[in-house]
Amino acid sequence: MSAMDRAPLPSPSEWQVFACLSRRGPCRFEVLERHLPRLQRFTIETLLLRLAEKGYASKRDDSGRFHALVPFEEALQAQIDRFLETFVGGDREACAQVIRQAEEHWKDLVP
């Protein structure tokens, strides 16, 4: 099942935890906590539970680690698709504006 077939997608707060878990690979709670310093311990626990319920992250395994269950690229594509469907639809000018804003926002990151 692809991320697009999942409903609902991770919320912005859940996405922070999912992205961290995806970047770090299978890891213990303490690693997530260290890499998400702006989130409280209870908040991270709650977000992990929600991600598990949505099928995006595992519950703690026997070694005490959590795993991302959906490839990051697939989940990101689903988020992008949802954003475009919600805010752009078929509006060409809105699409052009999104592209202009993205280019301006990330101009220093892209050669």
Once rounded to an integer, what is the mean pLDDT over residues 69-93? 91
Q: The whole model's pTM is what?
A: 0.82
Q: Kind and range of the H or E element at 19?
A: helix 12-24
pLDDT tens digits, 33-43: 999 999 999 99
Q: What distance, in Å, lies between the first and last C-alpha atoms of the chain?
A: 35
**pLDDT confidence of residue 6:** 52
Question: By C-alpha distance, which of 30, 41, 38, 34 is closest to 12?
Answer: 38
- As for how many domains the chain has, the answer is 1
Q: Kind and range of the H or E element at 103?
A: helix 92-105
**CATH number of the domain where residue 20 is located:** 1.10.10.10
* Dihedral sign computed on CA atoms, order 14, 20, 22, 24: negative
The boundaries of the domain holding residue 54 are: 1-111
